[in-house]
Amino acid sequence: MTSGRSAAFAMCAFALTIGALAATPLGGQTATAALTGAARDASSRPVRDAEVRARSLESGFEYQVLSDAGGRYWLRALPPGRYVITAMAPGLRTAAAREVMLPVGATVRLDLTLQPSVIELAPLTVRVDLEDDASPKISYFLDRRQIERLPEESRRFIELAQRVPGASAGTDATGGPAPFGGQGATVGALNRQSLGVLVDGGDFTEAVLGDLGGSLPLLAIREFEVVQGQYGPELGRAASGVVNVVTRRGSNDVQAEGFGLYRHHTLNARGVFEASKPDFNRTHWGLAIGGPIARDRTHFFAAIERRVENEFSTVNTDGAFPEVEGTFRTPLIDNLFFARIDHRASDAHELTFRYAGEAGEQLIGVGGRRALDNGQNNALGMHGGLLAHRWSLPGGWLNEARLHVIGTRRSVERNAPPGPNLVYPSLVAGPHVERARFAGLRVELLNDLSWTAAGRSGVHRLKVGAHLGWQRNKVRSNNFENGRFDFATDTSSLPSRAFVSFEEAGIRLDARNVQLAVYARDDWTPTPTLTLSLGFRYDIETNGSNQGFVSPFVGELPFIPATPRPIDANNLAPRLGLAWDPGGDGGTVVRGGFGVFYDALVAGPLLAFERSSGVRVASIPDPGTTDVGELLVDPDTLPAMVWAAGERIETPMTRQFSVGVRHALPGGFVARVDGLLVQGRDLLIQRNLNPLADPDVVSERRFPGFADVRQILSGGSAEAKMLLLLVSKRFSRGRLDVGYTLADRKNTNDTWSGLVPQTDLDGPDLDAEWGPAAWDERHRVVATGALELPPGLGLVASVTYASARPFTAVTGRDDNGDGARFNDRPPGEGRNAHRGPDFFRADLGIAAGRLRVGPGRIGFELNVYNLFNTTNGDPASVGNIVGSALFGRPRAAFPKRQVEVGVRVSTR
């Protein structure tokens, strides 16, 4: 099937699905909350046709529903926030409930008791469960107050995920940190590219590699949910977990706030590898304003944040190359934009428009063993828009539609004039070998419709939905233009091997991909204390496996398929779960479930590499020079480098088994214990099928006449066993949360590429690669506490401990002759068999002096990061060459103590 026919097929299938929705009940989107329960009279008899109203205390929007014959009601797709509940029925007195908070993604249960109207009544009697009791999912929340008060060092919103059990700092495709001063987050068994990120129900990942598309101002985030497992079928293309973010909306009151934060080297401690304090400084400011355009009908909210950081990175070769060592400036500029409008056209129609944007520049790739001239200038641009429509249909049906668009542009340019790239065991110097430009565009249309059915068998809350996505990936990458020269030792005067391109070598990609999904779900409550969740999801991608492409090397290499690969069309994902309240009072809730979860098949690498086959790069042993102009090589005689995928490319998937208990303890404490088993398969891997048996004898390759022949397969696997514990306590003047994760994460490959130290897949025995994942922290503890003291003093403390992450020992030589000497392990050495440094950091935030100034308030802040000045080595920088003086030692470290002062103003 051609790409055009594939798109036409997907559009037809989507149209048929939308047509079927008109006769099928569906449920609300994940960016909302729900309210459910039963209305009863003073004798505990169900009240039919009781009108339950929920009025937002912020926007004034009001939502209503009638109870059924059993007194049961369900208010769906409510914007998260604070509500006042009103219930009325003929012959019974109208009364108002106390204020209720509805978190994102949660279903809060309120049982209502209405008294006879002739009696003077106290306020309505309600029972509010501690959190979502109608879903088997394992998830953790951060509300607006927590987000606002937590001392967050990077202020990248995705970093908030690291604060909940089961999540940790992420790694990118090469094992290093994310750009723009963040680390991302890893959940479960897979790397951060398998983590779904939703903002107001729209996919916030970019279309090329599935990484995070950009960031948001923290001022614009209302609630933050991390779903670890057993998520519903409406959440897809995420095999490991989901970060679910809801942004802020305006209210009937004009509210404005702003902050300014500043750091300076005189207040900071000297870094462990720094000879003296560099001239570090950082300014970060933000503004937000929201209010009514028309009261109770139309509201707006807008925010902007700007961060300028005069950051520094330290190059450390442990004295092997003193002339390049030192601490060098690596500046960062990041701008974030946000705007949102909500309009209530009528009781039946509600519209939302939201815009998010980012523009930033950063110097990356400097520090540790990488010299300043090996850095890369990284630029990012992101623009995203969401249009949402909520439509209340007659008969209690509710339709939600979303159109979401996100476009990203990234460029990576060299930080030095053209010249050779020099690679020593302890140093990488000279201009980086790669220049690249990435552009991704994702357009998606989502539609849901919901309906409730009640009868003798209980209540069924039914959901069916459809998702249509279109992606375009454009990649331009150049490699080895000025040569890479490898040296056997730090003292070698001449290189042992050269890699040089005598033509345009790299990736040229302009590909499109269509994604289609349909899903259905039934949350069945046969009794008031038991909810069974049954559902399925079906995903398909038309071009994810390079559909329609046939390699030009068919017949020349025996394993290359002669016909186009079929579409991966077997992605049916059933999901089963239960939530049980044995006491009927919300004091104890038991959860459990099983589900199959498919990831997004990252089409970029497959399409780009396979279509780039035929590139001719010279691998020259003992070139005798580092001057490309002196290398006498006839390009026509060079063998071709080939990438080829297997006959089938499967979408990575996981199976998840979960069980958990939430219990209310004496003294107002709440404890949660969740167990999660995640089993992953069909992970992408890459291996070289044509290594040199003798680096000096090309004819000894397995396939003479070719250079590297790299095959991409769906052959990797992973597993994570996790025990998650959270103890929480809310005080009248504060709160305490302590989370603990005990985890055992294993896989066959941390990344899909075979060109990194963590993976050596040149051999056919993939099971031999089974070992700890690069992010396998066995123990992780995150504790946060907040306390408000008079007069106007607030304290927030955060403590994080993570046990050591693993790394792989290598020989530093090209022992197997595949041209890569950074992934050859000593005989008998397993992958990721060693452990690096552990991590401990305590942060403290102090807010003081909420002074009244005109219509607003002004307060002062002091944030101390790494309060105890702990030395935390960067796991990605640990020396891994056996026999080196730096083996097992980090070459770089996270910052020592930093002090931040600031001011915050608001109209609240």
What is the pLDDT confidence band of residue 13, given thresholds at 50, 70 and 90? very low
Which whole number is the average pLDDT over 655-679? 93
Low-confidence winner among 113-127, 129-143, 531-545 (lowest mean pLDDT): 113-127
Statement: residue 508 has pLDDT above 50: yes
Structure confidence at residue 322 as a pLDDT band (50, 70, 90) = very high
Mean pLDDT to the nearest integer, 540-562? 80
Q: Using a pLDDT cut of 70, give the percent of the chain over it.
A: 87
Query: In angstroms, rounded to a whole number, what is the distance separating the alpha carbons of residues 855 and 865?
Result: 32
Residue 4, helix vs strand vs coil: helix
106-120, 367-381, 754-768: which is most confident: 367-381
pLDDT at 757: 39
pLDDT for 841: 96
Beta carbons of 519 and 464 less than 8 angstroms apart: yes
What does the alpha-carbon distance between residue 419 and residue 377 come to, in Å, rounded to a whole number?
16
Q: Quick check: 728 and 737 in contact, CB under 8 A?
A: yes
Least confident of 337-351, 407-421, 629-643, 894-908: 629-643
Count CB atoms within 10 A of the CB of residue 731: 12
288 burial level (CB within 10 Å; 0-12, 13-18, 19+): buried
Q: Is pLDDT above 60 for 480? A: yes
Q: CA separation (Å) from 828 to 133, 232, 718, 833? A: 50, 43, 21, 11
Cα 45 versus chain centre, distance: 47
Could you tell me how far CA 517 lies from the centroid of its own chain? 20
Tell me which of 614 and 871 has the higher pLDDT: 871
Q: For the segment 164-203, what is each residue's pLDDT rounded down to a tens digit?
A: 999 888 765 444 445 565 677 888 878 877 888 999 999 9
Give the integer Cα–Cα distance in Å for 204 and 131: 26
The pLDDT assigned to 298 comes to: 95
Higher-confidence residue: 20 or 401? 401
Q: Please name every residue paired with 384 in a beta bridge, in sequence order, or none if there are none.
A: 356, 406
Specify the pLDDT at position 282.
Answer: 94
Q: Cα–Cα distances in Å, from 47 out to 72, 87, 134, 426?
A: 8, 11, 22, 76
Question: How many angstroms separate the Cα of 675 from the Cα of each of 132, 468, 788?
Answer: 18, 33, 34
Least confident of 77-81, 293-297, 587-591, 758-762: 758-762
What is the predicted pLDDT for the residue at 753?
A: 62
Residue 615 confidence (pLDDT) above 80: no
pLDDT (0 to 100) of residue 266: 93
- pLDDT at position 97 is 62
Residue at token pair 């079928």? 233
DSSP 148: H
Q: What is the pLDDT of residue 328?
A: 92
Q: Which residues of 512-529 are buried (b: 16+ CB within 10 A; e: fewer)?
A: bbbbbbbbbbbbbbeebb
With a cut of 80, say whether residue 635 has pLDDT above it: no
The reported pLDDT for the residue numbered 546 is 67
Give residue 182's pLDDT: 63
Could you tell me the two tokens for 552? 């030009």
Measured in degrees and rounded to the nearest 5, phi and psi for residue 395 equal 85, 10
CA dist 813 and 816 (Å) reads 9
Residue 9's pLDDT band (cuts 50, 70, 90): very low
- Higher-scoring residue by pLDDT: 32, 361: 361
- Evaluate the CA torsion angle 11, 15, 17, 21 in order and state its sign: positive
pLDDT score at 56? 87
pTM attached to this predicted model: 0.86
pLDDT (0 to 100) of residue 544: 66
Model confidence at 123, in pLDDT bands (50, 70, 90)? very low
Task: Give yes or no for residue 128 having a pLDDT over 60.
Answer: no
Q: What percent of the chain clears pLDDT 90, i.e. is strictly above it?
A: 36
Q: How much is the pLDDT for 287? A: 97
Which tokens sit at 867?
Answer: 């309060």
Q: What is the DSSP string of 450-517?
A: EEEEEETTEEEEEEEEEEEEEEEEEEEEEE-SS-EEE-SSTT-SS-SEEEEESS--EEEEEEEEEEEE
CB atoms within 10 A of CB 908: 9
Query: What does the pLDDT read at residue 132?
Result: 46
Q: Look at residue 547 in the predicted model and tell me its pLDDT.
A: 67
pLDDT score for 26 = 35
CA dihedral 647, 172, 446, 292 (to 10 degrees): -170
Q: Taking a C-beta distance cutoff of 8 angstroms, is the pair 448, 27 a contact? A: yes
pLDDT greater than 60 at residue 23: no
Query: Average pLDDT for residues 309-334, to the nearest whole number?
Result: 91
In this structure, the strands spanning 839-853 and 856-865 are: antiparallel
At 592, is the pLDDT very low, low, confident or very high (cuts 50, 70, 90)? Answer: very high
pLDDT of residue 351: 96
Per-residue pLDDT at 509: 75
Mean pLDDT score across all residues of the chain: 83
CA distance 876 to 893: 10
Rounded CA gap, 178 and 167, in Å?
16
pLDDT of residue 436: 83
Q: For the stretch 633-649, what's the b/e string if a residue is b when 16 or more beta carbons lie within 10 angstroms of its beta carbon?
A: eeeeebbbbbbbbbeeb
Q: What are phi and psi of 775, to 5 degrees?
A: -105, 20
pLDDT tens, residue by residue, 448-465? 998 888 877 888 889 999
- Burial class for 563, CB neighbours closer than 10 Å (0-12, 13-18, 19+): exposed
Looking at residue 15, what is its pLDDT?
39
